[in-house]
């Protein structure tokens, strides 16, 4: 810390990203990336003309990407904003609208960090005892609400009607639904956009679109809210998406077939893997995401995490009550998940 740092940031704890291991050969199931590569269409950015054009600034409006996204979701281009990952989109939302923020006490670890970064008051709303979000807990509040749906790290989803109920009960509050994992079987709130001007949906290319490395996030909302988000962008970093990211994003979203196939394969693997874990005596929360949150009664979560690591399998463990006995396991390739089951049998059953 330098002597110049602002007082308000002296005690701020930044977000801790999941480990990006430098060693090769690990089965990496810790950061919810997709096991399948990006759409082959993305290879189209691989030509030297694209490289030559890097000499020019990108389009600050990212118009081609916005159009492709609007077409995919069947919304107007004025209802779409893009960011350098959904983290940047979330940051713009906190900046623009962050009065008091309500968020689930167990959810994406960045939600309270953003509040500190942008000096918003915030309040963690507890989950139920069975680790669910109770929609009734988000009714009649006096601030901006942010909910990951499906939630992380539980994987449990709310229905579209649950979200509708929250929107109805918060007509004067902005409700942000973070749909990072929605494509793996949950109900998206996109169909509600035309009815509610207090709804913002955040999505990312990092999970279902196999492009965590390209950093593309997006917001869908009514035109006025998108205008405000873009006002933040143009007052912060107008060229936030580079040329290669824009090209990548356009190519990937136009390949709907590949996208749907990858999601189906992940879902199928998740269902098989969940059944296998249950067979070994695990309690597995009902996941609609590309990960599962599971615990067993034979070994504490931290110890199980460590044993997996010793066997070259990386998952995520949160050393925090009441989830310290769980691990979050990203759904990888079939062969990776089979290996996972084998290793777990060895660890737990000897």
Alpha helices in 5-62 (DSSP H): 48-52
Closest distance to a copy of itself from the beta carbon of 69 (Å): 17
Closest distance to a copy of itself from the beta carbon of 94 (Å): 10
Judged by CB under 8 A, how many residues of this single chain contact a copy of itself? Answer: 83
Query: Applying CB under 8 A, which of residues 27, 29, 31, 79 lies at the interface with a copy of itself?
Result: 31
317 to 346, contacts with a copy of itself by CB under 8 A? none
Here's the x/- map for a copy of itself, 234-273, by CB under 8 A: it reads as xxxxxxxxxxxx--x-------------------------
Given a contact cutoff of 8 angstroms between Cβ atoms, the answer to whether 88 and 240 are in contact is: yes
> Strand, helix or coil at 180?
coil
184 to 243, contacts with a copy of itself by CB under 8 A? 197-198, 206, 210-215, 222, 224-225, 227-228, 231-243
Residues 6+ apart with CB under 8 A from 296: 280, 281, 282, 283, 304, 348
Query: Applying CB under 8 A, which of residues 29, 79, 80, 85 lies at the interface with a copy of itself?
Result: 85
Which one, of 156, 232, 223, lies nearest residue 187 by Cα?
Answer: 156
Q: Which is nearer to a copy of itself, 148 or 216 (CB)?
A: 216
178 binds a copy of itself (CB under 8 A): no
Q: Alpha-carbon distance 288 to 296, whole Å?
A: 20
Q: Which is nearer to a copy of itself, 92 or 304 (CB)?
A: 92
Closest distance to a copy of itself from the beta carbon of 281 (Å): 32
C-alpha to C-alpha distances, 272 to 64, 84, 266, 337, 343, nearest whole angstrom: 39, 34, 10, 9, 16
Q: Which is nearer to a copy of itself, 93 or 131 (CB)?
A: 93
Given a contact cutoff of 8 angstroms between Cβ atoms, the answer to whether 168 and 198 are in contact is: no
């Amino acid at each position: 810390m330098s002597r110049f740092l602002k007082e308000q940031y002296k005690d701020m704890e930044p977000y801790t990203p999941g480990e990006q291991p430098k060693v090769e050969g690990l089965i990496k199931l810790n950061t919810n990336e997709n096991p399948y590569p990006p759409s082959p269409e993305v290879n189209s950015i691989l030509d030297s003309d694209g490289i030559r054009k890097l000499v020019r600034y990108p389009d600050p409006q990212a118009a081609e990407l916005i159009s492709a996204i609007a077409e995919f979701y069947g919304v107007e281009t004025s209802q779409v904003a893009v960011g350098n990952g959904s983290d940047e989109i979330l940051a713009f939302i906190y900046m623009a609208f962050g009065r008091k923020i309500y968020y689930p006490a167990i959810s994406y670890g960045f939600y309270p960090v953003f509040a500190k970064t942008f000096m918003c008051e915030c309040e963690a709303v507890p989950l139920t005892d069975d680790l669910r979000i109770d929609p009734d807990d988000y009714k009649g509040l006096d601030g901006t609400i942010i909910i990951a749906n499906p939630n992380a790290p539980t994987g449990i989803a709310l229905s579209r009607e649950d979200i509708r109920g929250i929107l109805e009960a918060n007509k004067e509050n902005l409700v942000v639904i973070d749909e990072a994992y929605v494509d793996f079987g949950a109900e998206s709130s996109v169909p509600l956009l035309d009815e509610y001007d207090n709804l913002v949906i955040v999505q990312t290319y990092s999970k279902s679109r196999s492009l965590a490395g390209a950093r593309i996030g997006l917001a869908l909302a009514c035109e006025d809210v998108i205008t405000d988000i873009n006002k933040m962008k143009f007052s912060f970093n107008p060229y936030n998406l580079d040329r290669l990211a824009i090209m990548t994003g356009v190519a990937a979203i136009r390949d709907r077939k590949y996208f749907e196939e990858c999601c189906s394969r992940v879902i199928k693997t998740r269902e098989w893997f969940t059944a296998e874990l249950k067979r070994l005596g695990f309690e597995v929360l009902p996941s609609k995401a590309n990960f599962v949150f599971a615990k067993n009664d034979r070994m504490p979560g931290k110890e199980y995490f460590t044993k997996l690591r010793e066997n070259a399998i990386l998952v995520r463990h949160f050393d925090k009550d009441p989830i310290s006995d769980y691990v979050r396991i990203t759904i990888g390739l079939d062969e990776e998940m089979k290996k996972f089951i084998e290793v777990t049998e060895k660890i737990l059953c000897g």
